[in-house]
């Protein structure tokens, strides 16, 4: 998002920026979230004054996986990899 007016005060609160959601039953942990202002990661619990043309990026965290991926049929694992779900 790009700020088109300003200055404005913003509280950019996000979860799961330090610790990923755990996987269950052999599933992998989820991805981490991130909050950036003008390309720089910032403290996700602090208030900020944003000025005109500042750019804010909120990356939302992913949930943890469920189940051992090696137990899925190979075609489904191929599709998971193609979609970026597994490493």
Please write the tens of the pLDDT for every residue from 11-56: 887 888 889 999 999 988 998 999 999 999 999 888 999 998 999 9
Whole-number pLDDT of residue 2: 79
Residue 87 has pLDDT above 70, yes or no: no
3-state secondary structure of 86: coil
Whole-number pLDDT of residue 48: 93
Residue 6 has pLDDT above 80, yes or no: no
C-alpha 35/C-alpha 56 separation (Å) is: 7
Highest mean pLDDT of the ranges 16-20, 39-43, 57-61, 67-71: 39-43
């Amino acid at each position: 998002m790009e700020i088109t007016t300003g200055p404005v005060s913003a509280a950019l609160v996000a979860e799961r920026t330090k610790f990923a959601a755990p996987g269950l039953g052999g599933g992998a942990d989820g991805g981490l979230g991130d909050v950036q202002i003008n390309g720089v990661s910032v403290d996700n619990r602090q208030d900020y004054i944003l000025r005109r043309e500042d750019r804010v990026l909120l990356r939302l965290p992913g949930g943890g996986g469920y189940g051992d991926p090696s137990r899925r049929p190979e075609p489904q694992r191929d599709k998971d990899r193609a979609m970026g779900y597994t490493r």
